[in-house]
Structure 1
């Protein structure tokens, strides 16, 4: 059913005609509505620390598995999941500069790169060892090692997994990232890390940007500022990682194991280009702020669309092996980052 929906989306997503636009509008409108509700729910007590993306995919799953989704929404859902997602990731580049990497310092960059690369490979190895689904394992590896839900969604552009896999991976990074968000400030008392070291540890290991902000500013402004910069530096590895997945990971097709049969993620070049522009041109803060709002909202729409295509029955069929993979990966990146901070 899902594959049929995707093929239908691809066949009509030629936006050179008014008819194609009209076909997409209902689904896009539904994703806009869910994203708007997700932003509204964030205003409730206890929900503010969760990104609107997480709330949106949860709402989408709830709608899909209770009242269902009408066939008229199929085209717009597909458009939101793919084209709007890629546009959102490109726009993320406006928030980053190569100067932020310099602020992190050679030590910080080395720790972040080591944590990202090693955790990605560790997650693939663990997933293979315990027999977790390989596509789902790759999504969990990207989300855990880089930046949570955004990385999961971006990685799926080359993994090409089912939306249930995306939802499962997002759930993993949300649950374990949230645990870290509450646990890190408590552990700080026992570890007695300097504020910048604590910020580096959190920025190099906690999954979502919002989770890093919450965990670091709970300790103090210096830890919060440095943790945010460290996390943004980690986000900058998103584009190279997606390219590496496309170029070096073997195909998961049934007929062949040849490499790199997936299309190259060209949207990642747009991301890098905007980072470069932002590094050499003084983009006004107001424009950067507006772009951040647009990018986050588009990502929220994309995750809402994925939720609308997600079946809970299929999620249950995945079993606990992927969840165990995500738990071990999260524990690994937290431990490795802390060890590297301590040793250096």
Structure 2
């Protein structure tokens, strides 16, 4: 007998829940510990301790855990680092309205376009001078200039990148994601930035959503929502960049995957749509203050769980295998984007220079 998807949905959800539960409990435990540390040391917040604890434990996973136990927690760790992070971003929409999203987009667009142009040109010119392979420097460039691993994943099939090149790029980007979480709040405090300006800096200069969220939450809760909106608007740059690369590859050879209308539609992350929907609901004023505060705190805890999962899944050997040239290129581009973002913000008067 054939069963419809609707009829089998409860069973499939139950199986999926049982599969991810052990790993989710691990990340939740780390998040509880990180939240406690953040309470004792407020400047750290829960994000930095969560990812640091996760990275430290990742070094012990293969040595201390039996293979069977490691396999049991792996699905939940991946679930936490991807889905729970995306869900946390959706919930952050309760802090914003559609009007603020449009306003943020207009305000940040010149900075986003400037940093993206500098990053892509730098990746091409500096990467070429450093003899970094063409596809690899493209992946590092879009990962640094747009949104980290998400941009790399979106662009990889367009340019026909090999799996080793993708691993190189993701590992390189991840290293600077971690550094950004630690250094950007220090930069923000050293420059005496207000939450609004720091959110603009973090959203335009940090390349991965998780790192933007972590750095902004460490700096201040007030900077978090604004930084996320800037970052999500920046994420939309995946679409024109992917289309442009597709055209270039199509002219060069027939090896790259051409973008269809359906693929273009899939480049818009579902959590971006969910974020906007929640912001629309919040704009209507139908969410009471109590539930709104609860959802904000829930999103912060989910972020800690997600960063714990990201830390636990860090591939340290992959970082070593990447070699110095891709890492150096990633560091140079990261610095270029940061300095360009600060300079553009200064020119617009946001820093008050």
CA separation of 1:39 and 1:132: change in aligned 2, threshold 3 A? farther
Matched, 1:118 2:110: no
Equivalent-residue separation in structure 1 for 2:306 and 2:195 (angstroms) = 34
CA separation of 1:27 and 1:322: change in aligned 2, threshold 3 A? same
Aligned residue in 2 for 1:23: 19
Matches within 5 A, 1:97-176: 97-101=97-101, 108-118=107-117, 121-122=120-121, 124-125=123-124, 128-129=127-128, 130=130, 131=132, 138=139, 141-142=142-143, 144-145=144-145, 151-152=147-148, 154-155=150-151, 158=154, 166=170, 168-176=172-180
- In the alignment, structure 2 segments of 5+ residues that lack a partner are 1-8, 157-162, 207-211, 349-353
Equivalent-residue separation in structure 2 for 1:35 and 1:86 (angstroms) = 16
Equivalent-residue separation in structure 1 for 2:137 and 2:297 (angstroms) = 29
Aligned residue in 1 for 2:36: 40
Equivalent-residue separation in structure 2 for 1:280 and 1:126 (angstroms) = 48
CA separation of 1:127 and 1:299: change in aligned 2, threshold 3 A? farther
Structure of higher CA gyration radius: 2
Report if the CA contact (8 A) 2:98-2:276 is conserved: no
Aligned residue in 1 for 2:75: 75
- Give per-residue Cα distances to partners, 1:236-288, cap 9 Å, x unaligned: 31542355566555599xx9411348754334322333333333445334333
Equivalent-residue separation in structure 2 for 1:246 and 1:152 (angstroms) = 14
Equivalent-residue separation in structure 2 for 1:236 and 1:48 (angstroms) = 24
CA separation of 1:276 and 1:153: change in aligned 2, threshold 3 A? farther
Equivalent-residue separation in structure 2 for 1:302 and 1:275 (angstroms) = 22
Equivalent-residue separation in structure 1 for 2:182 and 2:11 (angstroms) = 39
Aligned residue in 2 for 1:234: 230
Aligned residue in 2 for 1:8: none
Aligned residue in 2 for 1:6: none
Q: TM-score, normalised by structure 1?
A: 0.67
Give the length in aligned residue pairs: 311
Matched, 1:326 2:330: yes
- In the alignment, structure 1 segments of 5+ residues that lack a partner are 1-12, 218-223
Q: TM-score, normalised by structure 2?
A: 0.66
- Give per-residue Cα distances to partners, 1:175-214, cap 9 Å, x unaligned: 24533433455457xxxx9x79965874565533564577
CA separation of 1:174 and 1:70: change in aligned 2, threshold 3 A? closer
Aligned residue in 1 for 2:351: none
Report if the CA contact (8 A) 1:57-1:167 is conserved: no
Report if the CA contact (8 A) 2:55-2:311 is conserved: yes
Report if the CA contact (8 A) 2:123-2:137 is conserved: no
CA separation of 1:328 and 1:109: change in aligned 2, threshold 3 A? same
Report if the CA contact (8 A) 1:197-1:341 is conserved: no
CA separation of 1:269 and 1:156: change in aligned 2, threshold 3 A? farther
Counting helix residues as a fraction of each chain, which structure ranks higher? 2
Aligned residue in 1 for 2:296: 292
Q: CA deviation at 1:306?
A: 3.4
CA separation of 1:116 and 1:325: change in aligned 2, threshold 3 A? same
Q: CA deviation at 1:17?
A: 5.6
Q: CA deviation at 1:328?
A: 1.9
Aligned residue in 2 for 1:51: 47
Equivalent-residue separation in structure 1 for 2:195 and 2:20 (angstroms) = 47
Q: CA deviation at 1:172?
A: 0.6
Equivalent-residue separation in structure 2 for 1:159 and 1:93 (angstroms) = 27
Aligned residue in 2 for 1:337: 341
Match of 2:279 among 250, 275, 279: 275
